[in-house]
Structure 1
């Protein structure tokens, strides 16, 4: 009889918890856990190594999309992320910031190797073929498009913000590009 009551209690608890959403995180950014974005990628890093998301399992991963010729948002975002890493102190060793270029035509391995570590030596720049970059952008629902300018050349309009993945590789948050280093650090700590 006691065994039957325990089984019924376990079933009742399981049914009661089914269908309940996880408690929404209190972030400066946006909790996108329910979006079920696929964070997978297979790209080259700025040191010439093939990288996949699984390489960073066990770390909180922060993915920034941008390009090295960006005049404002991208360098500002990377500076803010560098500031957040400093604020995280020892916890920063459990965070990996990845900068994925949306301009693979200009952002070669050498360009990324000079640009990305300038902000923080732990940051990794990622690039690939146009098709590979398009697939990664699609996985994260990132929009980008070349805008040709008068007199030659181009800029790249793109989604501005960063994605935070938990230690298991699930995309959990979207942080705005205008968050302060303190706000970024605070949001990231939710995923340790």
Structure 2
């Protein structure tokens, strides 16, 4: 019996098995990526005009969602100001894009307050509010961080996620615009979203 040939044959079989396992782990697994995380949930809230609004408003067109509040000292006014500017730059190209500003502070942000606030930036942003428990449920379903923080004067402010969420025509998250994102990058993301 030729032991050398047997040893070489075994080492060859082991090498083939290792190569197969490496391929399966690193390459074949790439084509079986898990489904994207489903964000959002059905909701019935109130828009800035006092009318009911549901998750149906987020489908049939590209959308941008921003969660914030009207008493926000910096992040929210900056983001909405920038969004108004991006909408102006997009012009007709962005006519199908809908922008929603969803409050994380429904105790203070009534429909009237939301309308007065958003109209200071552009008529293209729709404010959304509602019962605190319903808003909280929606905020959590989008995995948005929002927390009430007491202030020294006995009032409070809100810590919250500062990114704009970009949704495709099916209401699925496609990308985000980070706070203080480069304007060129933000516009590129919006154009890619609009193009579908």
TM-score by length of 2: 0.78
1:77 maps to which of 76, 79, 97: 79
1:95-126 CA-partner distances (Å, limit 9, x unpaired): 01100000111111111110012111011000
1:164 maps to which of 158, 163, 166: 166
TM-score by length of 1: 0.79
Q: Which runs of 5+ in 2 are unaligned?
A: 1-27
C-alpha contact (below 8 Å) 1:100/1:127 kept by paired residues: yes
C-alpha contact (below 8 Å) 1:39/1:170 kept by paired residues: no
Give the equivalent residue in structure 1 for 2:15.
none
Q: Hey, what's the Cα distance between the residues in 2 that align with 1:65 and 1:113?
A: 15
Give 1:65 shift: 0.3
The count of corresponding residues between Structure 1 and Structure 2 is 166
Give the equivalent residue in structure 2 for 1:35.
37
Q: Hey, what's the Cα distance between the residues in 1 that align with 2:81 and 2:183?
A: 8
Of structures 1 and 2, the one scoring higher in RCO (CA 8 A, sep 6+) is 1
C-alpha contact (below 8 Å) 2:62/2:167 kept by paired residues: yes
Give the equivalent residue in structure 1 for 2:67.
65
Please report the RMSD computed on the Cα atoms of aligned residues, expressed in angstroms.
2.0
Q: Which runs of 5+ in 1 are unaligned?
A: 1-15, 23-32
Partner of 1:35, secondary structure, is coil
Partner of 2:107, secondary structure, is coil
Q: Hey, what's the Cα distance between the residues in 2 that align with 1:141 and 1:110?
A: 27
Q: Hey, what's the Cα distance between the residues in 2 that align with 1:40 and 1:178?
A: 30
Match status 1:111 vs 2:104? no
Give the equivalent residue in structure 1 for 2:145.
143
Match status 1:175 vs 2:161? no
C-alpha contact (below 8 Å) 2:48/2:111 kept by paired residues: yes
2:125 maps to which of 117, 123, 126: 123
C-alpha contact (below 8 Å) 1:85/1:185 kept by paired residues: no
Q: Hey, what's the Cα distance between the residues in 1 that align with 2:183 and 2:51?
A: 29
> Deviation above 4 Å: which 4+ runs of structure 1?
none
Give the equivalent residue in structure 2 for 1:5.
none
Partner of 2:95, secondary structure, is helix
C-alpha contact (below 8 Å) 2:58/2:170 kept by paired residues: no
Q: Hey, what's the Cα distance between the residues in 2 that align with 1:189 and 1:53?
A: 23
